[in-house]
Structure 1
Amino acid sequence: MKPPGARVVVTGLGALSPLGPDVPRLADALRAGRSAIAATGPGEPVPYRAALPDAAVGEALTAAALPPAATRRTSRPARAALAVAGQAWRAAGLHLRAPDPRRIAVVVAGNNLNGAQSAAAAARLAKDPMLVPPRLALQYQDTDQVATLSEAFGIRGEGLTVGGASASGNLALIHGARLVSWGVAEVCLVVGALAEPAPAELRSYLNLGAMVPTAGSGPGGPFDRSHRGFVHGPAAAAMVLESAESAAHRGAAARAELAGWAAGLDANSQPDPTVEGEAEVMARALADAGISAAEVDLIGAHGTGSPLGDRVEADAIARVFGAAGPWVNTVKGLAGHALTAAGTLSAVAVVLQLGGGFVHPTPWVRDPIDGAPRLVGDAAVTTPLRWALSNAFGFGGFNSSLVWRAAP
């Protein structure tokens, strides 16, 4: 929990997802309820995907306005991290005025980020050991992204990676908020890194029953009876967290306040979630923010489209918020599941909705599950929003919830 009186605000956002290469286009896609999920072709390891083309990564890097040297000889996940970090950095005005570099921290959300790159290197090794690129020794480590971001932006404060399966994005935001609220840093750049699983990793999700297994009856969708698992949607997202005092000193506008948070474990190494664990972190996050469940206007649900996951989260939301509850949506129904970056992308989506006064549609819902939360439908709802939650839950019993307050 944060010390009394400490305030952490968001001054910059960055996003690169199948919904667009920057924050404005993400906001447009959310408001329109535009989905990027599509069927794949023959021979693909999964039947559905929300694609992230190399051209989108390049366009996102252009929006970040980084010098060419910053992206030289970097991996695709690292280029994506630089792209979203650069967008958030500029949006926060840190390129114009920034604190002492020793007072800026960087936290990267994610683990096992470079599976595809390692699989490609293994194929090269089998062909000829001399074909394995020397830089793989650096790039296969998740910490390479921390070091790359530190070098690109001159960050000299604390830096680390935070891994918690699909809860990684939220856990990184919690850790960044703690660094700021405890006074360890004035600014923390939090990046939900692009995870590129190896084909075998994707296939293992499929074999586990976590992903949509076949192309036959469509991809389905979260909280709808058609749900059959998640669809992979590679993405990266970033937030600049800053003390309210630092933001005021720099003249930086706050997009929202990260007013409360909670995380916990289920004491369970398996992929099955629990109502108790999810409800507990939501309730503790509300208490941390000092608000009641009745004050919440929106929940950005974890909502992967897994039948078990949706059922458990719906029951947990009902336990905390009652039968009616606030509006609920999930960006995964439009952009797919970004794995370790999912929590960060969801948080960016929630902040955009708080600032824009809208709740994005859930157009995939045609036959809601019994006890489904208050879902939006085909068209965005325009409404004032003051308080919101964003949830992220991961295999192995990682539970997390964040409370956001709209900027005045």
Structure 2
Amino acid sequence: MGIRSRSCVITGMGVINAIADGIPEFAASLRAGKSGIGFLNHPPEHVPVRIGAEIKDWKYIEALNSIHGLSDELRQRTKKSSLRSPFPVQVSVYSALQAWRMAELETKPAEPERIGLVIAGSNLSQHYIYRQNERFRESPEYLPPSYALHFMDTDHLGTISEILNIQGEGFTVGGASASGNIGLIKGAQLVQYGLVDVCLVVGAVADLSPMEWQGFHAIGAMGGKRFANDPSLSCRPFDRQHEGFIYGQGSACLVLESSESAARRGVRSVAEYLGGGIVLDANRLSDPTEKGEAKAMNIALQQSGIEPKDIDYISAHGTSSPLGDDTEIMAIRQVFREYTPQIWINSTKSLTGHCIYAAGMTEAVATVIQMQEGFVHPNLNLEQPIDDECRFVGKRSMDTELNVAMSNSFGFGGINSSIVLKKGERTEWQ
């Protein structure tokens, strides 16, 4: 068995991305195989990238008012604390409020000192900083005083904790594209070791400036060239015509809680977090390794007390990059060996694009939804699989029972992570 001292369950979830605003819409979009990838409404200046999965036509106040079941007092406090916040902070607040409501933390509260908060992601305000830099170069004296707070990642932490009166442990974690999983693992440890009873983990949106767009493009990490005239075909995880990741905007939040706290508050758990693994490759570059990815999966299994044969489904990292996809499949085959052909495999990025810092969180939410509703979502554009023995989901969703699932996230700089989740009590999304 693993190192768990207390069981850790999931009692709330929130999400926003290119195909969904909220859990019910995300569930419907996953089952339908809806793609959010298209031509960018606001392509980055000076950069030859025109394809992505944006959160389009989103208005913060309308979004806040759409969350049912929040008190007027909480709504007013939210507006007072975040109305002038940068876009990434507002999106984080929005996904956190969704999860807070699902977990019934306003009507069935936990002690503020026993609630923790983890923000997953780093360099979260790059586009905001880029825009302010232009103003600063013209008129330094007109730089807003609030910039001193807004440029730091901890702005997410402070704003959400103020709105929700969170007074337990809190911090930000960065792990490139593995940030979401790392945030979940660290948040779960706070719960398992008894440091908090409840912990919100928020995967923050990556609001890229033109400089980040150019950097990803220059390193050859981005796709969208071969299918430049048909964006819906551009993200192709595990297909032989894959050529790079497609950027996606998104944020997601999970409420982690000890099973004792959930029982005490009288709330349902939609899933149980069993364990996770984080491993470094001792590599500063963007190339992944089979050894590191396999080790992260093995550690997640060991901490969970789960055998390879018990995994029903893998939510793969699956970015649609040739080296990344090939390496992940080799690592999966190394870990699961003869059981590989019986495990469903898909990549949510084929629908949402690569949400970068929030990718692991978004995919954890998608995993819980699929376990709850008994299906696996499609792998869009999978026409010529890179492996003939893996059980990739096809172009349509498939009904199937999922009890235990693994979700992988790997990041530049040799950061490997994997988590294991177990199906919880049946819940109707609201």
TM-score bin, normalised by smaller chain? over 0.9
Please tell me the residue identity of whatever aligns with 2:22: D
Give SS of 1:270's match: coil
Structure 2 distance, partners of 1:110, 1:212, is: 22
Taking the aligned partners of 2:328 and 2:157, their CA distance within structure 1 comes to 32
Of 396, 399, 402 in structure 1, the residue corresponding to residue 416 of structure 2 is 399
Let me know the Cα RMSD of the aligned residues.
1.7
Q: Are residue 301 (structure 1) and residue 301 (structure 2) matched? A: no
Cα distance in structure 1, aligned partners of 2:60 and 2:18 = 10
Q: TM-score, normalised by structure 2?
A: 0.91
Task: State whether structure 2 residue 26 is matched by structure 1 residue 26.
Answer: yes
Q: Report how far residue 213 of structure 1 moved.
A: 5.1
Determine the structure 1 residue equivalent to 2:307: 292
Q: Do 1:61 and 1:82's aligned partners in 2 also have CA atoms closer than 8 Å?
A: no
Match of 2:287 in 1: 272
Alignment deviations for residues 137-179 of structure 1 (CA, whole Å, 9 cap, x no partner): 1001000100001000000001100000000000000000000
Q: Indicate yes or no: 2:171 matched with 1:136.
A: no
Q: Which residue matches 1:252?
A: 267
Q: Deviations over 1:274-306 (max 9, x none)?
A: 001001111111111111111111111111111
Stretches of structure 1 lacking an aligned partner (at least 5 in a row): none
Does the 8 Å contact 2:5/2:193 carry over to 1? no
Q: Secondary structure at the match of 1:206?
A: helix
Match of 1:145 among 132, 140, 156: 156
Query: Following TM superposition, by how much is the alpha carbon of 1:69 offset from its aligned partner in structure 2, in angstroms?
Result: 1.9
Post-superposition shift, 1:272? 0.5
Q: Which amino acid aligns with 2:363?
A: S
- Helix, strand or coil: the match of 2:408? strand
Question: Which residue, out of 361, 371, 391, partners 1:374?
Answer: 391
2:38–2:51 CA contact under 8 A, matched in 1: yes
2:12 maps to 1:12:
yes
Q: Partner amino acid for 2:13?
A: L
SS across alignment from 2:21: coil
Counterpart amino acid of residue 402 in structure 2:
L
Q: Is residue 341–residue 389 contact of structure 2 (8 Å, CA) maintained in 1?
A: no
TM-fit CA distance, 1:362: 1.1
1:98 aligns with 2:101: no
The 5 A counterparts of 1:4-403 are: 4-40=4-40, 44=44, 45=47, 46-55=49-58, 58-64=61-67, 65=70, 66-67=75-76, 68-212=79-223, 214=225, 215=228, 218-322=233-337, 323-370=340-387, 373-403=390-420
Kept after mapping to 2: 8 A contact 1:63/1:83 = no
* Counterpart amino acid of residue 11 in structure 2: T
TM superposition shift of 1:54: 4.4
What SS class does the counterpart of residue 124 from structure 2 fall into?
A: coil
Residue 373 to residue 14, structure 1, CA distance change in 2 (3 Å): same
Rounded Cα–Cα distance in structure 2 between residues aligned with 1:317 and 1:56: 41
Question: 1:135 deviation in Å?
Answer: 0.8
Task: Output the CA distance in 2 between the equivalents of 1:250 and 1:29.
Answer: 31
Alignment correspondent of 2:428: none
Taking every aligned residue pair, what percent have the same amino acid on both sides? 43
**In structure 1, how many angstroms separate the alpha carbons of the residues matched to 2:323 and 2:103?**
39
Q: 1:37 and 1:280, CA in 2 relative to 1: closer, same or farther beyond 3 A?
A: same
8 Å Cα contact 1:314/1:371 also seen in 2? no
Residue-pair matches, total: 408
* Aligned mates of 1:270, 1:372 — CA distance in 2: 30
User: In the TM superposition, what is the alpha-carbon distance from 1:216 to its structure 2 partner?
Assistant: 5.4
Superposed CA offset, 1:80-108 (max 9, x none): 01100000000000010121100000000
Distance 1:160 1:363 in 2: 36
1:339 partner amino acid: I
- CA distance in 1 between counterparts of 2:217 and 2:194 reads 44
**Structure 1 position 47, deviation (Å):** 2.8
Name the amino acid aligned to 2:26: L
State the distance in 1 between where 2:97 and 2:126 align. Answer: 24
Partner letter of residue 15 of structure 2? A
Question: Are the equivalent residues in 2 in contact too, given 1:16–1:57 (CA < 8 A)?
Answer: no
Shifted more, 21-30 versus 64-73: the winner is 64-73
SS at match of 2:20: coil
Shift, 1:363, TM fit: 2.4
Displacement of 1:131 after TM fit? 2.9
Secondary structure of the residue aligned to 2:285 is coil
Q: Normalised by the size of structure 1, how large is the TM-score?
A: 0.96
